[in-house]
């Protein structure tokens, strides 16, 4: 209990005084996670809509693979990305290893299946309602996908938030590909792991509370920007 209260007090003090190191680490965490989320949504949402609308032979297999990859072990993703981006790897010439870019790549791979699977469920239900109407209007495949994505935007927000929650709390993969380098690739989760290993439990808890507060604040901001409570319900 002493460590918990000490962590709460220290977290409050770090935030109240706008500790420079905390601001830097928190800002990096947000930049990496939000960048990964944007890239993942650009990949996952059109993919989910395409799988819902288009009928092709391997469709069931694609859906099964997406659902299976939702539980993809982050450490394995980190290891694969590390091998690919290492000097002896196929993309080693890019020099991305131990940079925020490598962390973004790892997070994108982790959250794309999650966002796509959740989004697919919502889009598929909407497609069942819109199927006859869109077919009768003789619209193109691209127009169908755009319509479904737009009309299910509030449900897709849930998928995006699920991806954000998993990405911002990730530590294993980004520790491997980022290296937890001070002033370069250290984020809140890797800083918590470092301080816990050093036995600084109060500081680790303080960083943890800041991480939770950051995640909640971003979720509330996205809900507010999406006007989900004013314009409709889930």
**138-148 pLDDT per residue, tens:** 878 888 888 88
Whether residue 15 is predicted with pLDDT greater than 50 in this model: the reply is yes
Neighbours of 38 (CB within 10 A): 13
Mean pLDDT of 129-144: 82
Mean pLDDT of 88-109: 93
What is the spatial distance between Cα 189 and Cα 174, in angstroms, rounded to a whole number?
9
Q: How confident is the model at residue 233 (pLDDT cuts 50, 70, 90)?
A: very low
Mean pLDDT of 9-22: 81
Q: How confident is the model at residue 109 (pLDDT cuts 50, 70, 90)?
A: very high
Report, in this order, helix, strand and coil percent for the chain, each rounded to 5: 80, 0, 20
Mean pLDDT of 6-13: 78
Mean pLDDT of 187-192: 92
Q: What is the pLDDT of residue 227?
A: 61
What is the pTM assigned to this prediction? Answer: 0.86
Q: Using an 8 Å Cβ cutoff, are 126 and 53 in contact? A: no
**Average pLDDT value for the chain:** 86
């Amino acid at each position: 209990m002493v460590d918990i209260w000490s962590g709460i007090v220290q977290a409050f003090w770090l935030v109240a005084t706008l500790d420079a190191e905390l601001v830097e680490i928190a800002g990096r965490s947000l930049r990496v996670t939000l960048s990964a989320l944007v890239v993942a949504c650009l990949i996952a949402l059109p993919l989910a809509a395409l799988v819902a609308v288009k009928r092709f032979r391997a469709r069931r297999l694609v859906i099964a693979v997406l659902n299976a990859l939702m539980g993809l072990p982050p450490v394995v993703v980190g290891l694969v990305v590390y091998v690919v981006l290492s000097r002896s790897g196929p993309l080693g010439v890019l020099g991305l290893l131990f940079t925020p870019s490598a962390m973004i790549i790892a997070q994108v791979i982790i959250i794309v299946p999650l966002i796509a699977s959740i989004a697919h469920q919502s889009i598929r239900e909407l497609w069942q309602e819109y199927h006859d109407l869109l077919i009768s209007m003789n619209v193109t495949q691209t127009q169908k996908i755009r319509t479904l994505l737009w009309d299910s935007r509030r449900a897709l927000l849930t998928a995006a938030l699920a991806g954000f929650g998993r990405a911002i709390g990730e530590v294993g993969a980004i520790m491997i590909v980022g290296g937890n380098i001070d002033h370069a690739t250290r984020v809140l989760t890797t800083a918590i792991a470092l301080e816990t290993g050093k036995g600084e439990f109060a500081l680790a808890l303080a960083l943890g509370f800041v991480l939770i507060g950051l995640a909640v604040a971003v979720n509330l901001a996205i809900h507010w920007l999406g006007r989900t409570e004013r314009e409709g319900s889930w």
